């Protein structure tokens, strides 16, 4: 469904990604791990159309994404939940969610999609007319994921969804991501919690210094010496 082939991405003259290749197959959850500055968020931004590779290709369902703008990428069925949530604090929960459904294909399904999101996150229904900026960190993360789901994505990309959350909320967020994936949505997960990310994902990629260092089955990567030493402290 998603296939990235040997992309090079730059910020000005600084190269951020070097010959990065990866794929996400139907019904898969794929983890993308690496240290800060390794290129994980840059990869997601390239898929979303916020950055354009100088070389290589990004295809989704056979269509080239490299010439599309971000709104066209969303219309094709790709949604990104950004690091830091990036909600609209002065808008209500309902207004934030509706911002995720701005295209004709999904506008007419808003009511149905809202009910599906309330099934995942009942707390959002309780806070529906509350200003988003007054929510707790965990509730804001629920809102960011819910907003991403409002566009009915085929591929949901999550950038550090557990960042800054308590262990209890981290567990709840990961359980919800698994439910989303099992319901048929592909997931590309960028996550600092390497153990959880690889444990839950069918496959994983390790980015270091802008290049793919390793790839393999999620649980298989957990057994690799480099992963254990560099990311798990074992």
Q: Distance between CA 169 and CA 149 in Å, rounded?
A: 19
Low-confidence ranges of the chain (pLDDT < 50): none
Residue 30 and residue 24 in contact, taking contact as beta carbons nearer than 8 Å: yes
Q: Is residue 137 a contact partner of residue 165, using CB atoms and an 8 Å limit?
A: yes
Using one digit for the tens of pLDDT, what is the confidence trace for 207-228? 999 999 999 999 999 999 999 9
Scanning the chain, the segments in alpha helix (DSSP H) are: 40-48, 70-76, 93-99, 104-107, 110-120, 122-126, 137-149, 167-182, 194-200, 218-222, 225-230
What DSSP state is assigned to residue 160? Answer: S
For residue 233 the two structure tokens come to 């402290």
Q: Are 203 and 217 in contact (CB under 8 A)?
A: yes
| pLDDT attached to residue 234 | 58
Please give the model's pTM, rounded to 2 decimal places: 0.94
């Amino acid at each position: 469904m998603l296939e990235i082939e040997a992309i090079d991405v730059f910020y000005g003259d600084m190269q951020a990604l070097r010959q990065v290749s990866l794929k996400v197959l139907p019904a898969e959850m794929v983890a993308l791990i690496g240290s800060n500055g390794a290129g994980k968020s840059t990869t997601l931004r390239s898929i979303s159309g916020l950055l354009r590779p100088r070389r290589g290709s990004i295809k989704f369902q056979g269509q080239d994404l490299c010439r599309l703008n971000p709104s066209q990428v969303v219309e094709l069925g790709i949604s990104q939940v950004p690091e830091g949530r990036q909600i609209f604090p002065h808008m209500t929960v309902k207004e934030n969610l509706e911002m995720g459904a701005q295209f004709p294909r999904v506008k007419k399904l808003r009511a149905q999609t809202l009910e599906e999101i309330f099934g995942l996150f009942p707390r959002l229904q309780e806070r529906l007319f509350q200003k988003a900026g007054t929510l707790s960190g965990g509730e804001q993360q629920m809102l960011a994921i819910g907003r991403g789901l409002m566009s009915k994505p085929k591929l949901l990309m999550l950038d550090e969804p557990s960042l800054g959350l308590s262990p209890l909320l981290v567990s709840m967020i990961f359980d919800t991501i698994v439910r989303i994936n099992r319901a048929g949505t592909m997931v590309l997960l960028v996550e600092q919690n390497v153990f959880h990310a690889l444990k839950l994902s069918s496959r994983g990629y390790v980015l270091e210094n802008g290049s793919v260092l390793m790839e393999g089955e999620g649980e298989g990567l957990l057994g690799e010496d480099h992963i254990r030493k560099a990311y798990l402290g074992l």
